[in-house]
């Protein structure tokens, strides 16, 4: 296992009291599956927790800093916490280089795969939350996920865009029909 925790901690500006949480956050399922005999845990539970913390902090941030309707805040938050944006955030701190991946996943470019690094980013948030509390997690999120919002590409799901456009037309009436 990679033991260069200090480098990652230096980059993120947070030192873990419980290094096991950090290791857990960096452990992909593929690695855990290859090391079952050592009872290695993957980062999925921390990812679940980190996702919730990220949503809470980003919702509070948008509420306090942007005067816009709920629908626009929801779309802006979605763009900030979607896989592609979080993957870019993870790459800014070179999170991929610290991940514990199974051999196959590592050999096929897993360290650069958006789904893997974005999940690890959320797991790292969960680990920071458990280790240092909400204020430390909030500091990390503000510094690395909610930074440079104006330059981050907004994510719009195509169904929502279509509905908004149809609803803006006075006689517009959108009907969904399942064909296959």
Q: Which listed residue (42, 51, 89, 131) is catalytic?
A: 51
- Cα distance between residue 141 and residue 53, in whole Å: 9
Known active-site residue 4: no
- Cα distance between residue 10 and residue 31, in whole Å: 25
Known active-site residue 51: yes
Rounded-to-5 percentages of helix, strand, coil across the chain: 70, 0, 30
Phi first, then psi: what are they for 31, rounded to 5°? -70, -45
Could you tell me if 86 and 166 are in contact, meaning their C-beta atoms sit under 8 angstroms apart? no
In this structure, what token pair is assigned to residue 112? 């650069």
In this structure, what token pair is assigned to residue 14? 């947070």
Could you tell me if 137 and 108 are in contact, meaning their C-beta atoms sit under 8 angstroms apart? no
| Ramachandran quadrant class, 148 (left: phi over 0; alpha: psi -120 to 50; beta: rest) | left
Could you tell me if 155 and 82 are in contact, meaning their C-beta atoms sit under 8 angstroms apart? yes
* Catalytic (active-site) positions: 51, 122
């Amino acid at each position: 296992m990679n033991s260069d925790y200090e480098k990652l901690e230096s980059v993120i500006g947070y030192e873990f009291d419980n290094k096991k949480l950090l290791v857990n956050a960096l452990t992909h399922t593929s690695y855990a599956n290859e090391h079952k005999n050592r009872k290695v845990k993957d980062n999925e539970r921390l990812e679940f927790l980190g996702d919730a913390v990220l949503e809470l902090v980003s919702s509070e941030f948008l509420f306090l800093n942007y005067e816009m309707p709920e629908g626009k805040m929801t779309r802006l938050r979605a763009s900030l916490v979607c896989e592609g944006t979080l993957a870019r955030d993870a790459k800014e701190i070179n999170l991929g280089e610290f991940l514990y991946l199974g051999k196959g996943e590592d050999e096929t470019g897993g360290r650069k795969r958006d789904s893997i690094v974005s999940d690890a980013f959320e797991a790292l948030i969960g680990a920071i939350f458990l280790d240092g509390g909400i204020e430390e997690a909030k500091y990390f999120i503000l510094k690395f996920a909610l930074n440079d919002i104006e330059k981050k590409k907004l994510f719009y799901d195509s169904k929502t865009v279509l509905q908004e456009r149809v609803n803006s037309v006075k006689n517009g009436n959108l009907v969904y029909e399942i064909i296959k």
